[in-house]
Structure 1
């Protein structure tokens, strides 16, 4: 595949993701809820997967594996978020409400560019998908099978963590309490851990292709975002605001990220 064709695939993905985020911003502006960006950030990865499945010239079986993982993983997470967010569409999530307050009086304009950067991040993080989908080698590597196995583990773990949290919140008697059951007994953010593990699986899969080492960018960026930017810091700040001392006690006794035995 020549450089021009690769750039064309990247351009298709960029136009699609940023275009979708433009429409999502219009919706978010109308309903005054920027939290819907999370839904479509997840759904944008299946969009990229479909583009690569249709237009990338790589070995078909490899494309089916990588694009299938991307499509299924993105649809699962996006639908989980959609179910959660749409139930409370008239109530903006605390971390976005905080951003809105900090960005006033130009909050909507800043949210537009924030949404566009989410679309750009979709394409940047898709580096493993591009690398794998343009590989024409007709033989699959043990690294690719290992990537698929790790992906199965990670998507299952994330789905279990999400389900456990959703079930906890469904119980009215748990209102105002901290979820510390199941995987949440061992980690404050098992869903984030398995999400990162999923991106690691894409990296391992891409290592079987030329320049696959460049795919390390994706799990590295995801880990940085989860640990330092929009993931754990924002989530924990909101949890402390809403649950106070109960959450601080939970912080003191559990692992922040990797599921580990409870602290004594």
Structure 2
């Protein structure tokens, strides 16, 4: 483990989230926070891949994968944020925090920097793997990464197309991948981080730490900053329509649609 490199990356992530805090305070748009966070993780992961001492071919693949992820997600969120209104999740937090919103947001973003470090650590461990490349598990890792990147891009494109339609004002997206999961973009984001433990798998003492990335991402998306605040907002804005969707479509893992007749039977 290159502790000096990891310390430099940790400091860089903290500085990046400080910049994200300043950007939000100036613009009033919290979408820039997630844009900067995505790019910061990408830069940290790229630095780890370049400096790690693992197999060269695997390091190149790791660099390409994390770079593709960061550029796609960062540009997607950035384009969506430009000229938009405040993110409802952050808006609710700021309202709850009241007069201490500025200081509490800064602390909140430093916690995000810690989460980013856990993800970059998984990339570093993958790039540090000295096992011959490619192995069968490397092929599986690459398949997982490609499927995840494609799935998230398709989900985001389908949602963006829906938001431009007349139905978006009062309806809910149930087209394409959104027919089988209420949050397919979150699912594929989690799946992406599952590729790193596979790339990192070796006899190294530290390789098991790469499992923290998908575990952390699942916890954040399903229980903390992903699904809960977004669905709370959807319930406020769409009411019974969204409750009906909850009855027939899985929240996270894509699966067969369920009949909502049982829910409809409970309607007054």
Q: Within 5 A, what are the aligned runs for 1:6-17?
A: 6-17=2-13
The alpha carbon displacement at 1:46 in A equals 1.3
CA contact (8 A) 1:143 1:208 kept: no
Report the equivalent of 2:58.
62
Query: Comparing 173-182 with 232-241, which one deviates more in the overlay?
Result: 173-182
Q: Within 5 A, what are the aligned runs for 1:11-26?
A: 11-26=7-22
Q: 1:35 is matched with which residue: 15, 25, 31?
A: 31
CA contact (8 A) 1:132 1:209 kept: no
Give CA-to-partner distance per residue, 1:86-114, whole Å, 9 cap, x none: 130xx211111110011111000111111
Distance 1:98 1:53 in 2: 37
CA contact (8 A) 2:145 2:192 kept: yes
CA contact (8 A) 1:254 1:262 kept: yes
Q: Within 5 A, what are the aligned runs for 1:127-146?
A: 127-146=121-140
The alpha carbon displacement at 1:55 in A equals 1.9
Q: 1:92 to 1:40 in 2, by over 3 A?
A: same
Q: 2:184 is matched with which residue: 168, 182, 190?
A: 190
CA contact (8 A) 2:131 2:202 kept: no
CA contact (8 A) 1:45 1:71 kept: no
CA contact (8 A) 1:34 1:111 kept: no
1:80 and 2:76 correspond: yes
Distance 2:30 2:154 in 1: 26
CA contact (8 A) 2:248 2:257 kept: yes
1:243 and 2:227 correspond: no
Q: Calculate the TM-score normalised by the size of structure 2.
A: 0.91
Distance 2:64 2:43 in 1: 11
Report the equivalent of 1:164.
158
The alpha carbon displacement at 1:32 in A equals 2.2
Distance 2:110 2:82 in 1: 22
Structure 1 unmatched ranges of 5 or more: none
Give CA-to-partner distance per residue, 1:215-255, whole Å, 9 cap, x none: 11111111111111001101100111111111111111111
Aligned residues between the structures: 258
Distance 1:67 1:117 in 2: 25
Q: 1:180 is matched with which residue: 164, 168, 174?
A: 174
Q: 1:103 to 1:125 in 2, by over 3 A?
A: same
Q: Calculate the TM-score normalised by the size of structure 1.
A: 0.93
Report the equivalent of 1:259.
254
The alpha carbon displacement at 1:58 in A equals 1.9
1:109 and 2:117 correspond: no
SS at 1:105 equivalent? helix
